[in-house]
Amino acid sequence: MRQAFLLFSHQLTKSQQDELENKFKVDKIIYLPSDLQSIWSNVPPELPSIKDYLEEIFCWLKEHSKPNDIVLVQGEFGAVFLTANFCIKEGLVPIYSTTRRDVAETILDDETIQTKRNFIHVRFREFEKWD
């Protein structure tokens, strides 16, 4: 059984779930527990290093995952970098979502510009290790 662990701040779309199940052969999708989700979604910008801050998440992943499980990693840039590296070291497969962005701008009567952005999931992509 292959699992997918979700380290991001959204709910999966139907197309994302289908891709995890069909392309990546995932049988079980696991969201972070609420206490760890709070850690992931609120990385303090004041900290000079966040390695210790993320330690509970790394411990949880070690405890619940097995080699070749998928980890969807999206969020604060430094946390993503550390987590993707951690996953590769642990034999997990870190991935991220690629999107197409459709943007529409409207000039309002008061001459301000209103922007609407739609993000459309295209595919998941594996983080790659630079050799």
- Domain definitions of the chain by residue range: 3-126
pLDDT of residue 99: 86
> Is 4:109 a contact under the CB 8 Å cutoff?
no
- 26-68, pLDDT tens digit by residue? 999 999 999 999 999 999 999 999 999 999 999 999 999 999 9
CB atoms within 10 A of CB 76: 18
Structure tokens at 86: 């951690």
> Which pLDDT value is given to residue 84?
97
The three-class DSSP label of residue 97 is: strand
Look at 14-23, 37-46, 79-88, 106-115 and tell me which has the smallest mean pLDDT.
106-115
Residue 94 has pLDDT above 90, yes or no: yes
In this prediction, residues 79-86 reach a mean pLDDT of 97
| Nearest one of 70, 88, 91 to 8, comparing CA atoms | 70
Q: What are the start-end ranges of the H helices in the chain?
A: 14-22, 34-41, 55-64, 77-90
With bands split at pLDDT 50, 70 and 90, how would you rate the model's confidence at 118?
confident
| pLDDT at residue 131 tops 80 | no
